[in-house]
Structure 1
């Protein structure tokens, strides 16, 4: 039985949402296409009607997750700029730490993406740089003349890594997990506002 274009589009979107959630919760290699289809309320065959392979679906799922992050970052603005303080408060929170399936796709998959194909790696890098550019603009505004790009790259890398570490420590040592998030939040503010230190050589 043929389905309408609208229904086909809805099914495709449901598969992407389901894959994005499950991949963030359990990893790309930890989820099969049958599980994704079931989560989306569709059959195994329906998935392959929309995607040639699991890798193709993984690319779309990663893109969906990165788009979610960008939407959250730009959900509020201050003087035409993203409200990055608000974004950071939410990103480095216990709620974000504990919500694998709906929060940062980069923190959920950073170590795994390196074992995937070139397309996923390129999309990861693209999503990373979108976030970096937002922070770069804010840092350049706060500290004209600073190496805003380098500091923004450190900020975003620190955010992603800290969320991953906080998740890793959460069950075994909740206190350490919380300290990681709190310390990162303080130090990120310093990186965004304070001039970068220069080394002195004799």
Structure 2
């Protein structure tokens, strides 16, 4: 790869990584292409040297966010891992995850935006939901596949809902209650 191609690839990756973070922070429509490019230290006109459309950027940014999530989840599924559903729930419903949506789970951060997006973006999101369900199911004790999947769905819906509501409400007491109640009830799912 020539130096100019390598430079272009590095800039492309920088833009995608920034978009993955910023979309999780402010939503898919919370930042425009011009502002994103400015944050990346680039001109708005340079956008089309890297992407055919804004939707292509969103697709790549979601793919990047989902890849980052998969890397975080590998520690739960690694051979010999001693991490449990309780560990997963504790980390997901943590103050750190609450306060750092830009590096957190894109499912929670973007669920409402993706619901209003096109098929290609919803397809990517669907794949990530399935991936997350697979990880959660692997942490559950049940030997019955249908029960495991149902429990994994309950856990995922509860995690996304508790975190989403916690980020949306303005009352700190309610936020604490949502997170604490989610932890307590989800830890009992697999007991």
Q: Which runs of 5+ in 1 are unaligned?
A: 195-202
Residue by residue over 1:9-54, the C-alpha shift from the partner in whole angstroms, topping out at 9 and shown as x without a partner, is: 1111111111112211111112110111112122212221111111
Could you tell me which residue of structure 2 aligns to residue 177 of structure 1? 175
RMSD: 1.9
Could you tell me which residue of structure 2 aligns to residue 158 of structure 1? 158
Rounded to whole Å, the distance in 2 between the matches of 1:82 and 1:101 is 28
Q: Which runs of 5+ in 2 are unaligned?
A: none
Structure with more contact order per residue of length (Cα contacts < 8 Å, sep ≥ 6): 2
Secondary structure at the residue paired with 1:28?
coil
TM-score when scaled to structure 1?
Answer: 0.86
Task: Report the CA distance between 1:97 and its aligned residue.
Answer: 0.6
- 1:38-53 aligned within 5 A: 38-53=38-53
Could you tell me which residue of structure 1 aligns to residue 125 of structure 2? 124
Residue by residue over 1:49-94, the C-alpha shift from the partner in whole angstroms, topping out at 9 and shown as x without a partner, is: 1111111100111111111122112235675357243333221111
Secondary structure at the residue paired with 2:116?
coil
Pick closer, same or farther for the CA change 1:55–1:65 going to 2, 3 Å.
Answer: same
TM-score when scaled to structure 2?
Answer: 0.90
Aligned residues: 188
Could you tell me which residue of structure 1 aligns to residue 58 of structure 2? 58
Residue by residue over 1:165-190, the C-alpha shift from the partner in whole angstroms, topping out at 9 and shown as x without a partner, is: 01011xx2111111111111121111
Could you tell me which residue of structure 2 aligns to residue 89 of structure 1? 90
Pick closer, same or farther for the CA change 1:76–1:134 going to 2, 3 Å.
Answer: closer
